Structure 1
Amino acid sequence: MQLTKLTSITVAVAAALAFAGCSKKEEAPAADASSTAAAAPAGAQVIKIGFAAPLTGPQAHYGEEYKNGVTLAIEDANAEKPTIDGKPVSFELVAEDDQADPKTATQLAQKFVDNKVNGIVGHFNSGTSIPASKIYSDAGLPQVAMATAPTFTQQGYKTTFRSMTSDTQQGSVMGKFVVEKLGAKKVVIVDDRTAYGQGLADEFEKAVKAAGGTVVKREFTNDKATDFAAILTTIKGAAPDVVFYGGADAQSAPMAKQMKRLGLKAPLISGEMTKTPTFLKLAGKEADGTIASLAGLPLEKMPKGPDYATRYKARFNMDVATYSPYGYDATRVLIAAMKEANSAEPAKYLPVLAKINYTGVTSSNWSYDDKGDLKDGGITVYKVEGGEWKVMETIGGGAPAAAAASAAQ
């Protein structure tokens, strides 16, 4: 995701800012920084977990929900009265708004390093996670990011880990799906030129061609655009069977509306940054027929999904949207590695994190390969019907195909 994703939780910042690095500020903002922790037991060591995502702007709905999952994980961990090496500890969230901007992200990364946080959950976007990862790697600081762009874990850093499947996995599944399951012969691809959007579109294109489909046109826009009339008029002339969009819901929603109004019959296909409640609200009745992929199982079929959904609603007075379960698991995985290593020092628990085998909300086998990619890489394909996301099929990840099952989001 990313993007998405990566390239690519209330969270929102202009997708263009997310990956284009357009910030004019020379210093990382402090106004949106937050630090939360329950009252630590007397004498307890405070272990800081850094978190960064867009917490303002067009992508704030992603970041805030993501942050909610991290917050709940830390609260749950502290409620267990944790100890490390036989001594009481208290976990503290240090959250920052990276504005989905690469430059801000690197400034915050250095700030986390200077403040000696013990681990990082984030960043959300691929376009922020990738440049920040160099700083974390140089400091030996473990980072579990939502980023989905393949590049994130292909840099050779030992400190980079994912909390969702990569664009290689999602794009490959969806490219094959539209050709073999939807019967698409002629495919048009549009992306927003972010690390997430372009990366996902590239992998999708490879899979379409490998499955025997034809990409009749490849177009691009940007992550601030809302008027797609020119692109869609060109696309209509190509008479595609499907239109794939790599990017966020701030663009895919108006695109879906404009496609219907221009009389394009082809369904819109997209990735996890489109599979959101926000897309449904923005696209309205024109959302129907849109198809999108999301890592892992549907929430109600996740190993601990129903329980998580109940506790999340009680804590935040809202339903789970998309990303919070992955933020929750990423945080608990970091904590589990620290406890297993009997140390919160990054150099000591990093090798344990690399070999972790954790049962979480989203997966009963959360573990990594030698690059930091998740081994359990299932994908679920959803379709909007009657204004709701409904499951079409779950592919891989040890799950059987599930047709016409309902996705409660």
Structure 2
Amino acid sequence: MSELRQQIERARAGLPALLELDAGARSTLISRMGESLVRDQAEILRANQADLQRAEAAGLSAAMVDRLRLDEDRLHGLAIALRLVAELPDPLRDDAELRIREDGLRLRQVRAPLGVIAMIYESRPNVTADAAALCLRAGNACVLRGGKEARESNLAIAASLQSVLRDAGLPSELISVLDDPDRSLLNELLRLDDLIDLVIPRGGEALIRFVAEHSRIPVIKHYKGVCHLYVDAEADLDQALSLLVDGKAQRPGVCNALECLLVDRAIAADFLPRVGQRMAELEVKIRASADALPWLPQAEPNDEWGVEYLDRVLAIRLVDGLNAALDHIAHYGSHHTEVICTRNADKAARFVRQVDASAVAVNASSRFNDGGELGLGAEIGISTTKLHAYGPMGLDSLTCRKWVIEGQGHIRHR
């Protein structure tokens, strides 16, 4: 038996002890994990600094280094996110309607954990804490396989969280960390369908496609975040510029950042020069369609759409009205987040109806498609496929429903 298989078996073996905890005890466990991150912040930040030094030496882009970076504020924000997870309603609550048949048989559905969830992710060490907290609060064990660029940070965060498990008399293997980046071990992990119930990959498109193609285990997919902002002819242009700046430049390396701006041709002369000036101030490079270049002298010509840059790069295309914008998004979108800026309520309603994305925003930033912002406390990932979740996955998405049938010796066949 391989060492990896033994490790996952230990994670699964810890589930009965976790499921003996009631909702209050699981909530307290997650609250204490948030406290432990603050308590252990010096060690965690030292580990993160080592990762950052290696990342910069390896020539990672500024946006990717930013995804990797932890500081005191981000770590405290992570602790707050865990506290919010602890305060959410119990995901294993019995909230289904009770049905009583004529023969007295009682039927109901209850929420149940998925089991063992494997997270395979890159760069962002906050995923280690978010994933562990969400999985445990919902009664699941987690197997965490982070990227080599965040190895020290991930291990330090996991060690802090595991100490809380041990203090509570629970197996530390409920948070199981795989710190060997060997791709052959990842292949082995993806074949353990008798031990792992769900795989959630988070990272670049290449990683997610690799996992989806090689896994025997169900996979939640999020290939990329190609998010668009469509500025309608009836938009408030000051508002549109604000949405663009927040969506593109605040944190360009995250999946809900804007990658493409679609502008109604009727307002190009008024809007594009303002866009060009503001993007230059924010050091955002522009790649624009040929018909937009007269108003964007600093832009490079662009004929490639549907690209996730994850950097200070913005694609801009002129479109002839809402129909053309919808066609572009249908062809090049990634089912992540799509935004319309308009003062026309009918156009906004049509955009919401027709756009197929996990989140559609009207006069609001793409950056709101985030578990914390949507009231989920934190998220384990954003699904851009529709089974078994669509959009940010919080606590409820980490459960399923099972039937409970209660009788008094009832038999079906008499």
User: What's the TM-score once normalised by structure 2's chain length?
Assistant: 0.31
Give the number of the structure whose alpha-carbon radius of gyration is greater: 2
TM-score for the superposition, normalised by structure 1: 0.31
